[in-house]
Structure 1
Amino acid sequence: MQLRYLASRTPKKTVAEAAPELSREKDAQPERRVETESSLPSQPPLARPPQALPAPLIEAAPDRSPGLDGAPSASAPDPLRILDSIGEVVYDWDLRSDIINWGPNVRSVLGVSNVALIGTGRAFAECLSPDSESSRYEAIARSAATDDGAGAPFQICYGLLPPDSPRDAAIWIEDTGRWFAGPDGRPARAHGLVRVITERYKQDRRLAFESRFDTLTGVLNRASLLEQIGLFYAQAAKKKQSFAALLVAIDNLFLLNRTYGYDIADQIIASIAQRLRTNCRERDLVARYAGNKFALVLENCDAAEMTAAAERLIEIVGGAPFETTAGPVPAALRIGGVVAPRNGRAVHLLFQHAEEALDIARQPGGARLIAYEPSLAREDTRMKALKVSDEIVSALNDGRIILALQPLIDTRTGAPAFYEGLMRLRRKDGALVSPSSVLPTAEKSGLIQMVDYRILELGLKKLIEDPALQLSVNMSGRTVRDPDFISRLRAHLAPFPELARRLMIEFTETCAIEDVEATVRAIAEIKKCGARVAMDDFGAGHTSFKNLRRFDFDLVKIDGAFVQNLARSADDRFFVKTLAELAHHVGLPVVAEWVEDAETAKILTDWGVDYLQGDYFAPAAASDVKAPAARE
């Protein structure tokens, strides 16, 4: 890039070449010193913009350098056009006179029609946006660098409000340059280059916002919450006071999603966040903790104050519906609260206890607010759950999750029709652990899907080993509704397509009615794979006759809790007989579980129940012995 000073008739020089000469020229002039309290003027007094500014630093000049044929080149780069296109302009600032000499493209780059309005340092400073953290003058004044003859570098970013532009039309500038000292060692002049970085600035601001705040609600995100909560612990220790943490859940969010759609549910979540923030104190924290959960941290708050604040928030949120594009929609909250540091001396314990309290609040028929209180029994239960979780993970890693096969007896022939593969965990000492000791913990800890997929793999392996075997395996509702379940089932069956007709997938009635539409889709997809589907624990979830027809199950298994006392309970006999007749009415074969004696087996057979399962016929056995052939 070729540069020249217009006031001079000397040959063209670059800025770097011209700078030392300019410095010597400036040093040779008599010093006009402004006396202030500091070595650098706080800010030069506002000078009236000169009527005519000094000539610009650079101007476009035709390049007379010869081309290959000796003629002047027509394609030589135009420095002004290049600077213009990349949004950059050069300047030279005499700090003693406060005059800024701008490059000739300043109007197009900064959008200033009258350059005189930014012709001095003071006038330019008055155009800075209030959002600017610093200025060029401060960058020079506070510089720790010294000028060793080549100038001291500086770089600063700030917002600029051009004087003849709307007040909200700020552009953001990256200002890079060098300042040069006078004979007294103080900054005397500076030159540099300003670059418009508005788009980059906005992107950086957006990324900074998203790193700290939830984009949907505008409140803190979880990471920022955990980062800032340490200040509450420090203040509590210093002032000997407590604070409270509330874990706030939106009640039945899945129903809102299903009824109104996810976009309306998002509007409700954002509105609840705003209502919570509005009704908290300025120094309290409000953060989005998870999908339908918010965390509130209340400063200087004891147990009674926490209860009062939580009850007020429940009333405020539930007292008036939220306006959405679908119309007014009501919502309600469930809250678990903890007072710290008494009941949560570390961040992870604080929210662990809040989760425990919230779990109790979310139980059917439970209070909407539960304040955590230490409990030896609950702590013992928690420790046992942690131990079981560790044992499950260890068993999965060591291959100690196994199948125990139990036959289902055909009441017409008295022979096994097919088998159910039941999960068992074998301890390191060889003892077997029953599912009731493992599965509830696996559900709560999120390990259930790993267990389910292991059982599915073992079941398919059994089917490969025994071509005559027909087998059913249990899957949890979480697994069946997992978007990856069908694709994994297809992948397992792809190399052995003949296995599908001998495989049956079971899941409970309670799981089925949690989301009827999802269950209907899951059954259809499983059947497309060629497998059959059974409803387990029929009668426990009170499925309607309408849903029973929609589900398209191949078989229903009556909940064993109603079967085991059948011979002694008239109520159970009436209920089981009704369930069997209802299933037969819609054309579904019926299995009765937990058959433990001959009398119960005879009653069920007389009622026309198709299959019987229980310890009376054979307990579930973990064995590698080939199962008896089963009839289709």
Structure 2
Amino acid sequence: MKAGRSVLLLLLLPLGIVVLVALMVNYGALSSVREQFDLSSAAQDEDLVVIEEAASFSRDMGLIQRQMAVALDGAKSGQLDELQLYRMHTRIVEELAALGERVRRLAESELVIDANHNSARQLIHSFGEYRRFIVMTTDVIAVDPRVAADFLDQAQVEHREFSIFSSRIVSLLAERARDRNAAQVARFDDAFRGVLLTGLIILIGLFVTASLLGRRAGSHMVDIADALSTLARSAEAKIPLPRIEAMYEGGRGEFARIAGTLLNFRNAIERQRSAEAQAFQLAFYDPLTRLPNRRLLSERMRSVLRACEQHLGHAGVIVLDLDDFKRVNDAYGHGVGDRLLVEVAARLESVVGEGNTLAHLGGDEFAILLGPIGADAGSAVGEVEACAERVLAAFAGAFQIDGESLYATASLGASLFGTPLANLDDPLRHAENAMYQAKSEGRGNLRFFDPVIQARLEERIALESELRLAIERDQLELFYQVQVDENDRLQGVEALLRWRHPVRGLVPPAAFIGLAEESGLILPIGHWVLETACAQLLAWAGDARTAQLSIAVNVSARQFRQDDFVQQVGGVLERTGAPPRRLKLELTESTVLEDIESTIVKMKALRAFGVRFSMDDFGTGYSSLQYLKRLPLDQLKIDQAFVRDIIDDADDAVIVQAIIAMSHALGLEVIAEGVETREQQQLLGQQGCRFFQGYLFGKPVPLDELAQRLR
């Protein structure tokens, strides 16, 4: 029954197509007739335009006649002088010229010539005579109005002749338009009847043809319906369709094409199922290197762990990462980088040993699973080291990629594991941490996982989480260390960040600033420091004892490199109302010179607000005097590493003296930090340093202690 309904639907489909085709043919024919009708209508519209143009001539010439009558009466009565008559003469001549051009275009138009060629010539002749008498009238009107009246009478005679010819042309054009319209209606009726008859013949022919084809195709349609049902139900990888194959091979025409389409559809289904099977395999293998991926490595680790439980043995995992692989991609392109990974995978497969698993974890990172490899930890470590040595030796020779000799090294991290194992991810994670340690210690070598290092990493992660909470819970605090002049008079303070942890106590900045830089937390922290310092400047500005004090704020490289850093500082100054001249931003040499042109633009924009700048830890970096003289600095701060041994180390003394001399040559203030003795202060003063900071004058203290000192 289902096949019968399918056949009925497939038989009705051609009939519907036949009806649709017939309707489209009739519609196209009628559209053609309508297009012809539109063209005829357009031609008739052009005739009407000509008729309207011809009818307007009599009106325009009548206006000229009235102007001439006015001019003649004015000349006879003496109301118009010669100048006025001349102006009227000029205007009438211009109007006649324009009207003559219109008459000429009308007479030369194809429509007027087709209507009556002699009338067109007579029209031009009559207008020419009329124009001549009018011009003669205007020429003598001021001299002899009576002669002008005679000329005007003759012009009126010619005007009547022109009007007669114009009316004749209009009549001819109107008659021609009626004839054209009648002919067009007749053609339209004939065409419409022809279209209907043609459409009816086509419709009958198509209907008969479709009926014959439908009866002939009955058996084939049943086969096609059965094939579609088979394709829908079958779940096999290979789907046999013998009757459709026979129809395709032995048939002709449409059914052979339908059979071919069904076979192509069958083949597409088979390819899709084959691809699904391949995708299932690819879920556990890396498509580039054809090595097991991280998921399959985890499954293999479970199997190795079960084997370790049975034999009371150990297993090991090595994680290796190529050194400077990004350099290869940048220099040669990612295509060469991918081929290098394939070559590396091939070399590693030759050295990992049978029974072990080599996996590609992604990017340029590989892993080797060894096990079970020994009953005691000592022998297990020996086998891991032996495998690692083979791996490192595999990187000794060059890799030949597209005719290029590329050299690569790898950093290896290893870890051992056995039963019991709390978390299956731990061995791989420990090996990765050891690999990072190997990279940090020189690369191209092996490091075993160290529980102490792991504990340090976990401590760092916990500290980062606590630092995020510290920002939210207002555990951060600013301490202030005084800055004095050569007479120990207070000039300002440096704001130094402290973390008052509820359990750890007062955490020094060295313990968390680096972490804040790496995690990005330095951005909200730096903004808070800037807000707090500016609020304090505003509070001091209202007291005569503190109004002249400045606050130096350290700005991190990551904070300074933000595109909107200038707007941030401007916004803080505007919100707090702090005096900009009392705010001093301390930048390190590396921050300033990282992008010198962008740095200069930002510093000049901030200087426009009134903000001052100090270069912190000067002398420890690689400042270029060429760039240094371009920077809008106010102050150089000598690093405490040179100040500490300035009394006993002649080299430090020479360096400090050079820094001070250079600063004075550039017109910059100099402040020395880390001053702890009077001898240091005196020697610095002798060399020209006028500002100091250090424990000799006071340690960093909270705001309330600083307030007591100020009082």
Q: With structure 1 as the length reference, what TM-score do the two structures score? A: 0.59
Return the letter of the residue paired with 1:409. V
Return the letter of the residue paired with 1:294. E
Change (3 A) 1:466 1:311: farther
Q: Aligned pairs, how many? A: 475
Q: Using the alignment, how far apart are the partners of 2:420 and 2:496 within structure 1?
A: 41
1:280 aligns with 2:356: no
Match of 2:496 in 1: 422
Q: Using the alignment, how far apart are the partners of 1:558 and 1:21 within structure 2?
A: 98
Task: After superposing the two structures, state which structure 1 stretch, 537-546 or 605-614, moved more.
Answer: 537-546
Match of 2:114 in 1: none
Q: Write the mapping of 1:484-503 to structure 2, written as runs, cut at 5 A.
A: 485=565, 488-489=568-569, 491-493=571-573, 495=575, 500-503=580-583
Q: Using the alignment, how far apart are the partners of 1:66 and 1:117 within structure 2?
A: 28
Change (3 A) 1:335 1:237: closer
Q: Write the mapping of 1:211-226 to structure 2, written as runs, cut at 5 A.
A: 218=288
Change (3 A) 1:131 1:278: farther
Offset from partner CA, 1:315-354 (integer Å, 9 cap, x none): 66675488699x8776654443334458986365445534
Match of 1:250 in 2: 323
Change (3 A) 1:431 1:481: same
Residue from 439, 450, 469 that aligns with 1:374: 450
Offset from partner CA, 1:470-527 (integer Å, 9 cap, x none): 3222233344345565564455456569755543333434x449xx443553453244
Residue from 520, 528, 545 that aligns with 1:454: 528
Q: Using the alignment, how far apart are the partners of 1:506 and 1:455 within structure 2?
A: 13
Shift of 1:390: 4.3
Preserved CA contact (<8 Å) 2:484 2:691: yes
Change (3 A) 1:62 1:56: closer
1:296 aligns with 2:440: no
1:62 aligns with 2:138: no
1:99 aligns with 2:99: no
Higher helix share: 2
Return the letter of the residue paired with 1:370. L
Q: Using the alignment, how far apart are the partners of 2:420 and 2:579 within structure 1?
A: 54
Q: Write the mapping of 1:168-247 to structure 2, written as runs, cut at 5 A.
A: 218=288, 227-240=295-308, 242-247=315-320
Offset from partner CA, 1:375-406 (integer Å, 9 cap, x none): 44x45544554554344233212111111122
Q: Point out where structure 1 has 5 or more consecutive residues left out of the alignment.
A: 1-13, 23-53, 75-79, 81-89, 105-111, 135-156, 160-204
Residue from 256, 260, 273 that aligns with 1:133: 273
Preserved CA contact (<8 Å) 1:344 1:350: no
Return the letter of the residue paired with 2:5. A
Return the letter of the residue paired with 2:485. D
Shift of 1:535: 2.9
Residue from 479, 496, 502 that aligns with 1:404: 479
Offset from partner CA, 1:29-68 (integer Å, 9 cap, x none): xxxxxxxxxxxxxxxxxxxxxxxxx99985763237999x
Change (3 A) 1:608 1:277: same
Preserved CA contact (<8 Å) 2:482 2:490: yes
Higher strand share: 1
Match of 2:260 in 1: 118
Match of 1:470 in 2: 550
Residue from 511, 516, 532 that aligns with 1:437: 511
Residue from 426, 431, 434 that aligns with 1:357: 434
Q: Write the mapping of 1:296-315 to structure 2, written as runs, cut at 5 A.
A: 296-298=367-369, 300=371, 303-304=381-382, 306-307=384-385, 310=388
What is the CA RMSD across the aligned residues, in angstroms? Answer: 5.4
Match of 2:5 in 1: 18
Match of 2:616 in 1: 536
Shift of 1:272: 4.5
Shift of 1:464: 4.0
Question: What secondary structure is seen at the aligned counterpart in 1 of 2:472?
Answer: helix
Q: Using the alignment, how far apart are the partners of 2:702 and 2:478 within structure 1?
A: 6
Match of 2:47 in 1: none
Q: Write the mapping of 1:564-575 to structure 2, written as runs, cut at 5 A.
A: 564-575=644-655
Q: Write the mapping of 1:547-626 to structure 2, written as runs, cut at 5 A.
A: 548=628, 553-623=633-703
Question: What secondary structure is seen at the aligned counterpart in 2 of 1:99?
Answer: helix
Preserved CA contact (<8 Å) 1:409 1:611: yes
Change (3 A) 1:536 1:119: closer
Preserved CA contact (<8 Å) 1:539 1:558: yes
Preserved CA contact (<8 Å) 1:284 1:299: no
1:389 aligns with 2:345: no
Larger radius of gyration: 2
Question: What secondary structure is seen at the aligned counterpart in 2 of 1:93?
Answer: helix
Shift of 1:296: 2.8
Q: Using the alignment, how far apart are the partners of 1:470 and 1:529 within structure 2?
A: 16
Question: What secondary structure is seen at the aligned counterpart in 1 of 2:273?
Answer: coil
Q: Point out where structure 2 has 5 or more consecutive residues left out of the alignment.
A: 24-195, 203-209, 211-222, 231-239, 249-253, 309-313, 351-356, 374-379, 542-546
Return the letter of the residue paired with 1:374. D
Return the letter of the residue paired with 1:558. I
Q: Using the alignment, how far apart are the partners of 1:533 and 1:113 within structure 2?
A: 87
Q: Using the alignment, how far apart are the partners of 1:322 and 1:489 within structure 2?
A: 54
